[in-house]
């Protein structure tokens, strides 16, 4: 049974409850001193503007917010909110078991990159994820985390703003599984300003 496309953002939003705070490492040719200076700015708006100036120009604020919505979820046991951005998979090019891509704050430095699934895998199970990089492929060894529909990729989110990954228009993945592979495509336009906004909203580490 196929999941209705309009239900996928709700599933992605539910996964955001498992995220925590982090610090965003920087993009290509970015001076780390500039990044540290931005982090010390107290007003949220000013800090976000400072961070965005360090990243490549992509979409306007409104466009980026629309396609990479910021999800803020109160933690049931208290503490800082869980914060993430998300993007749904292209339903025309994706299996119904792939909901989309989530990038979330975490407690240690860095941002966690997660494929969100509709079919749960056993917790802590390992899955090979084949990423199509145009003329080449790379295999990532991912791990399933709670609630079983979050597949954590061994990536720093800044990979989408530097090197060959910066040129990707979409993330094309195949999740290897004995039951059946899960294939899908997630558009990546607007990811740079979305990452800057996420970084500015992560709880202090």
pLDDT in tens, 127-173: 999 999 888 999 999 999 988 899 999 998 989 988 888 889 999 99
pLDDT in tens, 180-199: 999 999 999 999 889 999 98
Total of domains in the chain = 1
The domain of 185 spans 5-201
Confidence of residue 39 (pLDDT cuts 50, 70, 90): low
Query: Has residue 54 got a pLDDT over 90?
Result: no
Nearest Cα residue to 116 out of 11, 10, 7, 2: 11
Q: Is 161 within 8 Å of 191 (Cβ atoms)?
A: yes
CATH number for the domain including 74? Answer: 2.60.40.1880
Residues paired with 143 in a beta bridge: 126, 152
Query: What pLDDT, on the 0 to 100 scale, is given for residue 115?
Result: 97
Query: Has residue 4 got a pLDDT over 70?
Result: no
Query: What pLDDT, on the 0 to 100 scale, is given for residue 121?
Result: 93
């Amino acid at each position: 049974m196929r999941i209705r496309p309009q239900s996928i953002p709700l599933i992605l939003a539910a996964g955001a409850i498992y995220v925590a705070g982090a610090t965003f490492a920087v993009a290509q040719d970015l001076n780390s001193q500039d990044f540290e200076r931005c982090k010390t700015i107290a007003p949220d708006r000013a800090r976000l503007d400072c961070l965005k100036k360090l990243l490549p120009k992509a979409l306007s604020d409104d466009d980026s917010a629309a396609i990479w919505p910021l999800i803020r979820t109160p933690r049931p046991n208290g503490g800082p909110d869980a914060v993430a951005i998300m993007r749904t998979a292209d339903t025309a090019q994706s299996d119904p078991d792939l909901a989309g891509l989530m990038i979330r704050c975490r407690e240690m430095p860095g941002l966690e990159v997660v494929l969100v699934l509709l079919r749960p895998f056993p917790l802590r199970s390992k899955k090979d994820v084949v990423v199509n990089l145009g003329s080449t492929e790379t295999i990532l060894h991912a791990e399933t985390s709670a609630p079983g529909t979050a597949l954590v990729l061994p990536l720093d989110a800044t990979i989408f703003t530097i090197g060959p990954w910066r040129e990707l228009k979409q993330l094309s993945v195949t999740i290897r599984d004995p039951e059946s592979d899960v294939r899908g495509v997630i558009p990546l336009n607007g990811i740079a300003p979305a990452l800057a906004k996420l970084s500015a909203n992560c709880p202090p580490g």
